[in-house]
Amino acid sequence: MPADLVVVFLLSLLPVSESRGSVIYGLAQGLDPLQVIAVSIVGNSIPAIVLPRVLDYVEKAAVRFGLGALYLKYIERVRRRGRKYVEKWGYIGVTLFVAVPLPTSGVYSGALLAHVLGLRRIEPALVSGAVIAALLVYALYSVLQGP
């Protein structure tokens, strides 16, 4: 695997970039769009599958290590931004929340939102949102690049 695709994969794992940043990076490097999208989706799907299983432990660790106030502040911001999606559309709302290519609305925030609102078996909604987000970023990038 070329080094730039490894970077695409690693960026897709990070909460600050997820597939939004990894797709832009890969396309800007001139990589094959299908490879970039596939690698970004695979990478962003890993936290979508892992996070719902570990968020209880993350909460306990945050409190134990004195990060409870910061964690609660982040939770409240996610709840405030995402609750309307979930109340209106349920699991599809989580998918839409994750899919919107804006800061703080990706897989990490979607998993936390679902956790806080008590949704279970959320992985398909998170992965679907990650797929849509990667495709939307690709489409936006392509339109902005022009012919």
Joined together, the tokens standing for residue 32 give 């094959």
Residue 147, pLDDT score: 61
Instruction: Look at residue 100 and tell me whether its pLDDT is greater than 80.
Output: yes
The residues spanned by each domain of the chain are: 3-145
Quote the CA–CA distance of 90 and 124 in Å, as a whole number. 13
The pLDDT of residue 63 is: 84
Mean pLDDT of 108-137: 95
Q: pTM to 2 decimals? A: 0.91
Q: Which pLDDT score, from 0 to 100, does residue 62 have?
A: 85
pLDDT at 82 over 70: yes
CA 141 to chain CA centroid, Å, is: 18
